[in-house]
């Protein structure tokens, strides 16, 4: 039975969450734009040994931008709470897990991306970069609400298994984490491009080495989660379809994504591949993840087609 009132409440809460995220994005960008400039990168760029004060200098701007940054974090947390409330009400409205179709899945992926982002700024002084994470989060939610929206409905029978709680949660969490990793890799590429073009021009972005390190750490966290997702999917496939692996388009693309991210982790410790080449591989990994998710679901028919638009 579908509770229409709760379903409407869920939609409203999601809308409110998007507004909070937009506020947060502006706050982060204010902090970034008006904060103090970071010193130039150290010559030679001593990888991985950037002294903490360099990063801290960026995180300690003057008062107004700092306030904007704090407001942005509060708005992010408020947005996250509204987002969680939206997922919970959706789940209660349909009496099942709130990730049964692409609309709900997209919403949960961006939720995990926000959680991953909050985890990153707890460990690294990168608060002022939050706008770059909020941007894809808002975009994702926009696409979810405007293109993929599906009214509250019961689950397709094939999805009716407890594996939906294991396999799909893993897929959403790793996608959210990889989204943050993608942002870090893209910012690294941007920063190192700037460093090469105008090495003397100060930048508000953290040093390339810091961004590279954060990108690696986020990806290294997401990769085992993705590995687990693929394995859990194989166990589910064994129970449902009689084989653990059958090169269904979804399986193929998750494999491709896994291989590309594995390539990124290896490239980072291979001479001649470190740095920009590795970061491009991370970007390719995210592109492959998007194909696995959107292109395969919408344009390629396969066993995952029921996860309907």
Partner 1 sequence: MTATTELSTSPEDRAPAPPRVGPGAAMRRAWRTWTSMRTALLLLFLLAVAAVPGSLLPQRSLNPSGVAGYYGDHPSLAPWLDRLYAFDVYASPWFGAIYLALMVSLVGCLTPRIRLHVRALRSVPPAPPRNLSRLPVSRSFTTSASPTEVYDAARRSLRRWRVRPYDTGLSAERGYVRETGNIAFHLALLGLLAGVAMGAAWGYRGDVLVVEGDTFVNTPAAYDELHPGRLNTGDDLPPFEVTVDDFRARFLPNGAPSSYEVDVRWRPSVGAPDRKRTVRVNEPLTVRGARVYLLDHGYALHFTARLPDGTVVYDQWQPFLPDRGAANLVSDGVVKVSDLGGGLPDVGLRGRFVPTYARRGQTVFSAAPEALIPAFVYETWAGSLGLDSGLPQNVYELDTEGMVRAGGGVAFLGETIERLPGGLTVEFDGVKDFAVLHVNSDPGKRVVLVAAILALTGLILSLRIRRRRLWVKATATEAGTLVEVGGLARQDPAGYEPELASVAESLQASLEKP
Residue ranges in contact with partner 1 by CB under 8 A: 48-50, 52, 157-158, 160-161, 163, 213, 217, 220-221, 223-224, 227-228, 231, 234-235, 238-249, 252-253, 255-256, 259-260, 262-263, 265-267, 269-273, 288, 296, 300, 302
CB of residue 211 vs partner 1: minimum separation in angstroms? 13
Q: Which is nearer to partner 1, 201 or 266 (CB)?
A: 266
CB of residue 96 vs partner 1: minimum separation in angstroms? 14
Q: Which is nearer to partner 1, 86 or 210 (CB)?
A: 210
* Beta partners for residue 203, in sequence order: 38
CB of residue 82 vs partner 1: minimum separation in angstroms? 32
Helices 249-267 & 208-241 angle (0-180, nearest 10):
150
Label residue 161 exposed, middle or buried (CB < 10 Å: 0-12, 13-18, 19+).
middle
CB of residue 99 vs partner 1: minimum separation in angstroms? 18
Contact 68, 27 (CB under 8 A): yes
The CA distance from 90 to 87, in Å, is 5
Nearest to 95 by CA among 14, 153, 166, 11: 153
CB of residue 35 vs partner 1: minimum separation in angstroms? 22
CB of residue 213 vs partner 1: minimum separation in angstroms? 7
Q: Which is nearer to partner 1, 1 or 271 (CB)?
A: 271
Tokens of 168: 């799909």
Nearest to 88 by CA among 103, 73, 108: 108
Q: Which is nearer to partner 1, 81 or 290 (CB)?
A: 290
The DSSP-derived string for 5-48 is HHHHHHHHHHHHHHHHHHHHHHHHHHHHHHSPPBPPPPGGG-TT
Q: Which is nearer to partner 1, 32 or 260 (CB)?
A: 260
Q: Which is nearer to partner 1, 61 or 285 (CB)?
A: 285
Contact 151, 91 (CB under 8 A): no
């Amino acid at each position: 039975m579908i509770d229409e009132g709760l379903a409407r409440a869920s939609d409203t809460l999601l809308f409110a969450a998007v507004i909070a995220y937009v506020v947060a994005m502006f706050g982060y960008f204010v902090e970034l734009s008006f904060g103090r400039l970071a010193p130039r990168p150290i010559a030679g760029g001593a990888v991985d040994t950037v002294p903490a004060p360099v990063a801290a200098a960026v995180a300690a701007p003057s008062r107004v931008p700092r306030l904007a940054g704090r407001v942005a974090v509060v708005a992010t947390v408020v947005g996250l709470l509204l987002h969680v409330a939206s997922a919970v009400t959706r789940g209660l409205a349909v009496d099942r897990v709130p990730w049964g179709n692409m609309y709900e899945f997209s919403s949960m992926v961006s939720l995990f991306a926000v959680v991953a982002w909050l985890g990153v700024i707890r460990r690294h002084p990168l608060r002022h970069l939050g706008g770059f994470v909020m941007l894809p989060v808002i975009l994702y939610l926009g696409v979810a609400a405007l293109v993929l929206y599906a009214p509250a409905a019961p689950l397709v029978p094939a999805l009716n298994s407890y594996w939906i709680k294991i396999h799909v949660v893993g897929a959403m969490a790793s996608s959210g984490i990889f989204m943050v990793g993608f942002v870090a890799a893209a910012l690294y590429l941007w920063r190192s491009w700037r460093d090469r073009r105008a090495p003397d021009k100060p930048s508000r972005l953290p040093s390339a080495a810091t961004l590279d390190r954060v990108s690696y750490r986020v990806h290294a966290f997401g990769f085992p989660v993705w590995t687990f997702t693929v394995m859990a999917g194989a166990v589910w496939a064994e129970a449902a379809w009689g084989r653990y692996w059958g090169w269904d388009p979804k399986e193929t693309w998750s494999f491709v994504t896994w291989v590309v991210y594995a390539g990124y982790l290896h490239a980072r410790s291979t001479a001649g591949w470190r740095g920009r080449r590795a970061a491009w591989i991370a970007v390719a990994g995210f592109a492959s993840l998007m194909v696995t998710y959107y292109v395969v679901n919408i344009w390629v028919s396969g066993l995952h087609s029921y996860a309907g638009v």
